[in-house]
Structure 1
Amino acid sequence: MMQSSCWVNGVPAEHISVTDRGLSYGHGVFETLPIEHGTPLLWSLHRARMVSSCQRLGIPIQSVVEAVEQDIRQFLANQTGVLRITITCGEGLRGYRMPDTIVPTRILQYLPPTTYPNEPARVGIKAMLCQQRLGLSPSMAGMKHLNRLEQVLARSEWQTPDLQEGVVCDIDDYVIEGTMSNLFMVKAGELHTPSLDRCGVWGVMRQHLLHLAERESIVLHEGRYRLDDLLASDEVFFCNSLIGIWPLVELSPHSFVIGPVTRKLQALLEASYRVC
């Protein structure tokens, strides 16, 4: 099995310029996804989000995407593990002004497969309510941009291994997501997930699950939910591209069951991977 590896602009490397705008200003985006036998899972969705986010940030992207796909074929053929793709606005002079000529930096990082002890997808996880709040920024909402300090601060609120995730609200106290994941609630057999038009990340797994649920005629709702709405739910689960679906069983002192909708979506997700 290949050990951890990194490529910068198609060349094995572990460093970028100190003038790179991704380092200086967080001017860039990233995608983290599983790769199986050289094939990035749900790549079309990751690719679409990466392209859309770069366009919103003024980063020319089309030739970069083609280069990324070539890098994957060249360096990661037949590999299974975790792939992180980072695209920055490239090098620039001091100051916020965009460079006259933008040459994006592309970084591919490969890590061996991630293992999760205690089978969280099967037995569920415990989470906490984070004190850190997400600021509102509709123009930045949805993107997996490089500015993740809010998530870093939220995740720093616990160190105990019995907690696997934290629920994060916005500054208006609406429930938004987990520190590393999106959030779903089930009430009376219907699926609910927070709107992400003001903050939060449009997760690829979230999008995929919405497609699967719609295909199965599961009633879907996107809206603004308070903590009381979450606590009144019949089922709650977190999701992202690496963990799949992790059911919530405890948000102390409240407990939840792993219900039929969660289990159905887990089965649908597993089946969708088999036909990728």
Structure 2
Amino acid sequence: MSATARVLVDGLGVDTVCALDRGLSYGDGLFETIRFVAGLAPLWSRHMERLQHSCVRLQLPMPDAALLLHEARSVVGGMDQAVVRMTLTRGVGERGYALPTTAHPTRIVAAFAAPAMMGDAYIHGIRLRWCETRLAIQPSLAGMKHLNRLEQVLARAEWSDPSVADGLMRDTDGNVIAATMANLFAVVDGVLVTPSVERSGVAGVARAEVLASRAAVHVGDISREDLLRADEVFLSSSVRGILPVQAVDDTVYVPGPVTRALQRHWRGLGFPMEQA
């Protein structure tokens, strides 16, 4: 068993899977990263909704949500602040890309200690940089949290400066899409905007919560020039919450009223805004 995580594979207390699993061979699967606070997951229903929708798109059998919750609570037991990663693969199949006649999915549920985020990050904001690695345009996969994260891996390899918290990624047409680990929002000309994820990127559950909580958010293409003239910029993440952006490279921002209102909304859901 892993020393850094509590893991269940198909309900068993092991941390290994078959070497022939299609998740390893082809990235054939999905995952959810879920924040738990005192044994509760405030955005659980949004995670399950996205997983269900993505399973339909990938033609994967959806696990029973009650079983997933039971296993999540089992691995989280005793942890006040935890992150649960649920991974669902198509399981072991014959060699080749063709879908197995009958899928036997592999279900992995693992709990980790929640990342430490100091209060200063939520008050003053975080620093970002522009990434050179671009996100491919692929509507068939856009929005889903599928297992292929190589674009994000390559983007994250572009810097080692610990003062830079994340990097912003554009698609191959040059549109700003997201950070490597979070969705992006900005206030431009008095309007709250967020990039479309219909052709690229991940439809985050925290993003969905923001969209549901605000009366008018413009969803569409956002250019680098749009972001340069924004009044506020912040990230949304199911793990880290609402994070103001202090700077993107040399462009400086100040957290404003929209960011602060959404931070209050986040706290109202039951999430802490900082950790010691």
Q: TM-score, normalised by structure 2?
A: 0.93
Alpha-carbon deviations, 1:155-212, whole Å to 9, x = none? 1111101100111000000000001100001024321000111000000000001111
Percentage of identical aligned residues:
41
The within-5 A match list for 1:159-178 is: 159-178=160-179
**More moved, 225-234 vs 265-274:** 265-274
Give runs of ≥4 in structure 1 deviating > 3 Å.
73-79
The within-5 A match list for 1:1-276 is: 4-63=5-64, 65-77=65-77, 79-80=79-80, 81-117=82-118, 119-214=120-215, 219-273=216-270
Gaps of 5+ in 1: none
Question: Given that residues 209 and 269 in structure 1 are in contact (C-alpha distance below 8 angstroms), is that contact kept between their aligned partners in structure 2?
Answer: no
Q: Per-residue deviation at 1:39? A: 1.9
Question: Given that residues 33 and 41 in structure 1 are in contact (C-alpha distance below 8 angstroms), is that contact kept between their aligned partners in structure 2?
Answer: no
Letter in 2 for 1:147: N
Letter in 2 for 1:222: V
Alpha-carbon deviations, 1:198-245, whole Å to 9, x = none? 00000000000111112xxxx310110110000111000111111101
Letter in 1 for 2:154: L
Aligned-partner SS, 1:208:
helix
Number of residue pairs the alignment of both structures matches: 268
Aligned-partner SS, 2:133:
strand
Alpha-carbon deviations, 1:115-167, whole Å to 9, x = none? 12463111101111100001110011100000000011011111101100111
Letter in 2 for 1:164: A
Equivalents in 2 of 1:186, 1:125: separation in Å?
A: 17
Aligned-partner SS, 2:138:
coil
Equivalents in 1 of 2:111, 2:34: separation in Å?
A: 10
CA RMSD between the two structures:
1.6
Question: Given that residues 36 and 78 in structure 1 are in contact (C-alpha distance below 8 angstroms), is that contact kept between their aligned partners in structure 2?
Answer: no
Alpha-carbon deviations, 1:73-118, whole Å to 9, x = none? 4443454311110010011111111111101111011112321246
